[in-house]
Amino acid sequence: MSIHSEQIELLLQEDLYDYLPPKGASSYQTISAKSFAAQALLSNVFKKFEDNPSLNADAKALEGFLTSNKKAGDDLPKPETMLDDHLLGEFHSLMDSFFHPPQSVENKEGMLVQSMSDLFAEASTGPGASLLANGNDFYTKLFSSPLSTTSEDLYRDYVALVSKIPSWSQAENTRASHLGNFTLVDGNRLGFAPKNVDVSRIIATEPSLNMFFQLGLGRILEQRLRHFCGIDLSTQQGKNRELAQSGSAGKFATLDLSSASDSISFSLAKSSIPKDIFWLFEYLRSPIMTIEREDKKEKLHLNILASMGNGFTFPLETVIFTCIVLSCFKVSGLTPQFPRHN
């Protein structure tokens, strides 16, 4: 028995009839809280219902992504006032502090990443697809599939690291003897994932070795976020909901950035991430995206540092946005309330 959104909507309208506001009363300031809630429920309940998705959902997502990528190629705006200079200086100072934790016995140089071994210790294959991989599990990706990479040097780093683990080294030798050492690729491949009925979500399939180390770097960024400002990405979503609810009551403002993950331009990252670690992001990223449409393959030069699908995109954008917010607090003379603990 199929379910149709039109039938559900009619039933929902009947259930909410006593609470829906009169036509024309759209402002939350002129209707009751229950009326506003009923109206919001009716408007949003089918946002992700996919019985009748838009035929242009993928096309809209691609159009938005291409627009973001083109904009990311523009020159960075220059400071126009002393306040701009002050704000930018505080931002760069916070970014430097993030990537250079306090020196310790284990980290005498005060570097967030001291070597590729650090990434290898935290690396994983992730649950999603990788280029040329025959499956999505750890064993299939690394031991029974061709290894894809954007750099021969990255494969050499991988072999040098697994050589220290006899069983892993033997497995790699066996894999390479049957499938070859590695396959060199330009970068990632465009894909789409469900978002809502109107527009899809852009997600890229990364080369397997790039993704392996990207996830290691992403994990290190997540760990540093917890120590730096108390942000735990595993629980932050729930806190964001609480804050959004509080913000809706007028206590403070909330900001929802459209295509946030596609807004970190390469030039922004290069200018804000310290040089002694930026090379690592550049080393692991995919510089080219393959787009397949109408039986044709197109190569797109990425002006953004990394798209969704890259293993370090989300934690890195969180780092950058956090440092922007904290720099605004500092310039404004405000004291942020962090870290937050439940």
Alpha-carbon span 137 to 139, nearest angstrom? 6
Asked whether residue 229 is domain-assigned, the answer is yes
Scan for tokens 């001291």, then name that residue. 114
Do 244 and 315 belong to one domain? Answer: yes
Alpha-carbon span 299 to 72, nearest angstrom? 17
Do 309 and 265 belong to one domain? Answer: yes
Asked whether residue 84 is domain-assigned, the answer is yes
Asked whether residue 60 is domain-assigned, the answer is no
Asked whether residue 340 is domain-assigned, the answer is no
Residue 53 pLDDT more than 60? no
Do 88 and 40 belong to one domain? Answer: no
Scan for tokens 């500092």, then name that residue. 330
Residues 6+ apart with CB under 8 A from 170: none
Asked whether residue 69 is domain-assigned, the answer is yes
pLDDT band for 54, please (50, 70, 90 cuts): low
Do 19 and 150 belong to one domain? Answer: no
Residue 9 pLDDT more than 50? yes
Percent of the chain, pLDDT > 90? Answer: 60
Number of domains in the chain: 2
Do 86 and 21 belong to one domain? Answer: no
Asked whether residue 306 is domain-assigned, the answer is yes
Q: Which of 265, 342, 261, 273 is nearest to 309 (CA)?
A: 261
The Cβ of residue 288 has, within 10 Å, a number of other Cβ atoms equal to 14
Alpha-carbon span 182 to 155, nearest angstrom? 7
Which residue range(s) make up the domain with 225?
Answer: 65-332
Give 127 or 258, the one with higher predicted confidence. 127
Q: Quick one: tokens of 292? A: 């397949």
Q: What is the pLDDT of residues 92-138, one digit of tens each?
A: 999 999 999 988 757 777 889 999 999 999 999 999 999 999 999 99
The whole-model pTM stands at 0.84
Do 34 and 79 belong to one domain? Answer: no
Q: Which of 216, 267, 210, 228 is nearest to 78 (CA)?
A: 267
Do 26 and 84 belong to one domain? Answer: no
Alpha-carbon span 291 to 285, nearest angstrom? 17
Q: Quick one: tokens of 50? A: 């996919």
pLDDT band for 342, please (50, 70, 90 cuts): very low
Q: What is the pLDDT of residues 298-320, one digit of tens each?
A: 999 999 999 999 999 999 999 99
Asked whether residue 322 is domain-assigned, the answer is yes
Mean pLDDT for 203-209 is 96
What pLDDT score was predicted for residue 195?
A: 73
